[in-house]
Amino acid sequence: MSQNAKSTIDLGPLPELIGYVLRRAQLAVFQDFFAAFAPFEIRPAQFSVLTVIERNPGLTQSQVAGALGIKRTNFVGMLDELERRALAERRQTARDKRSYALYLTADGAALMRKLKPVLKAHESRMVGMLGEDRRDALITLLREIADANGSR
Amino acid sequence: MSQNAKSTIDLGPLPELIGYVLRRAQLAVFQDFFAAFAPFEIRPAQFSVLTVIERNPGLTQSQVAGALGIKRTNFVGMLDELERRALAERRQTARDKRSYALYLTADGAALMRKLKPVLKAHESRMVGMLGEDRRDALITLLREIADANGSR
């Protein structure tokens, strides 16, 4: 839809609502992420999970899901897919037979190395739009929102 | 997960990425929205669609979907549900038998009136966290991101 056609539609209170504008901005940034990471078939949430496993090998599923705010049911499906693609693996822990510790495979670690410049280029495009100072201001405001609501 | 356990997990570059922090903030705000609108079984995207139909009766499906940046396939399912619940309706247009014009039903219009104070209370909580000035700064930054990426 052209800018012109869009501007003739009355969005009412939506463009003034924090949630609506957050969602539009988030989708726009994810669009760039999708395009950049499509050749590797990695979506944003998968990248987050792989990052946390890479940085903290041996965490349990609930620890990783909890740190990222991902619902347990969604997380299980995500991990199944990463395991099927041999990027991450569940290992049974000696202490507790019902819980699994998560690790990257060698392939998963290699993929993460390949993704680093892709991530850097994506983030540069995002920061480039705003400039460093305004990016810092944005991150501060967003963290405040996430922390205030997350702690309820 | 407690704040303490969370802080011992290394999130690597994630907390510095615009997309990641945007997503966490967006989910936090939607969480509040979900809770407030749950008694009416209205999700954020449904609220947006009902708002645009209310403000612009007679638009086509692609106009509404386009204005909100919703994918056509997702939009059809959403509208099916709103129609099943008798909140909105498709009417065939005289000009083009293949395209439908969208309207709220009387029930849909009544629901939107009931939702106004619910929306106001939700938004007050969100603005209350930041204060008016910082809310304005945030909206400006977010719109810039959405517009820059959306125009690609």
Write the DSSP string, B20-70: HHHHHHHHHHHHHHHHHHGGGT--HHHHHHHHHHHHSTT-BHHHHHHHHT-
ipTM of the complex: 0.91
The phi, psi pair for B27, rounded to 5°, reads: -65, -40
Give pLDDT, residue A140: 96
Backbone φ and ψ for A82, nearest 5 degrees, come out as -65, -35
Q: What is the pLDDT of residue A152?
A: 45
pLDDT at residue A21, rounded to an integer: 97
- pLDDT of B16 reads 96
Cβ contacts of B130 on chain A, cutoff 8 Å: 141, 144-145
- Distance from the B43 Cα atom to the nearest Cα atom in chain A, whole angstroms: 12
Q: Quote the pLDDT of residue B1.
A: 43
Q: How many helices (H) and strands (E) does chain A have?
A: 7, 2
Tokens 């299980």 sit on residue: A76
Residues of chain A positioned with their CB less than 8 A from the CB of B26: 19, 22-23, 26
Strands A100-104 and B100-104 come out as: unpaired
* A92, β-bridge pairs: A100
| Residues of chain A positioned with their CB less than 8 A from the CB of B127 | 18
**DSSP reduced 3-state for A104:** strand
A37-55: per-residue pLDDT in tens?
999 999 999 999 999 999 9
In chain B (152 residues long), the average pLDDT of successive 10-residue segments reads: 62 97 96 97 98 97 94 94 98 80 98 98 95 95 88 46
* pLDDT beyond 60 at A5: no
Using CB atoms, pick whichever of A119, A129, A141 lies closest to residue B144.
A129
Q: Which residue of B has its CA nearest to A46?
A: B20
Q: Which of B67, B134, B139 sits opposite A11 (nearest CB)?
A: B67
Contact A12 B52 (CB under 8 A): yes
Residue A150 has pLDDT above 70, yes or no: no
- Set of chain B residues whose Cβ sits within 8 Å of the Cβ of A1: 62-63, 66-67
Question: Residue B97 has what pLDDT?
Answer: 73
Nearest partner of B80 among B94, B90, B71, judged by Cα: B90
Nearest to A111 by CA among A53, A32, A56: A53
CA distance A103 to A50: 9
pLDDT of residue A97: 73
- Would you state the pLDDT for residue B4? 46
- In 3D, which of B119, B131, B151 has the Cα closest to residue B37? B119
Q: Among residues B71, B129, B12, B2, which one has the least CA distance to residue A19?
A: B129
Give the closest-approach CA distance of B85 to chain A in angstroms. Answer: 23
From B96's Cα to the closest Cα of chain A, the distance in A is 19
Predicted pLDDT at A41: 98
The predicted pLDDT at position B99 comes to: 81
A24/B146 touch (CB, cutoff 8 Å), yes or no: yes
Query: CA-CA distances (angstroms) from residue B98 to A109, B53, B72, B92, B136?
Result: 51, 19, 15, 8, 42
Report the pLDDT averaged over residues A98-127. 96
Of B3, B23, B148, the CB nearest to A44: B23
Other C-beta atoms within 10 Å of A21: how many? 22
Tell me the Ramachandran region of residue B42: left when phi exceeds 0, alpha when psi lies from -120 to 50, beta otherwise: beta
Tell whether the model's pLDDT for residue A25 goes beyond 60.
Answer: yes
Phi and psi dihedrals of A91, rounded to 5?
-120, 135
Residue of A nearest to B54 (CA): A12
Question: How far, in Å, CA of A16 to CA of B136, rounded?
Answer: 9
Q: For A28-39, write each residue's pLDDT tens digit.
A: 999 999 999 999
